[in-house]
Amino acid sequence: MTKAKMTVGDYVNDSYALHAWILDNLNELDISKDKRSLLSVCAFDTVIEHFLGAITLIKSKIYGSAFSLVRPIFETFVRGVWLKNCAEDAELVNFQKDRVKKEFGEILKLVEGLEAFKSGSLSSLKKQALSAMSSYTHGGFQQISRRVKSGTLYPDFEDEEIIEVLKISQMFALLAFIQVAIEVKRDDLVQVAIGKLYSMGLFKKKN
At residue 35 the predicted structure's pLDDT band, cuts being 50, 70 and 90, is very high
CB atoms within 10 A of CB 129: 16
CB atoms within 10 A of CB 134: 16
Ordered by start, the domain boundaries in the chain are: 3-140+155-199
3-state secondary structure of 79: helix
CA dihedral 102, 122, 142, 18 (to 10 degrees): -110
At residue 1 the predicted structure's pLDDT band, cuts being 50, 70 and 90, is very low
Judged against a pLDDT cut of 90, whether residue 28 lies above it is answered with no
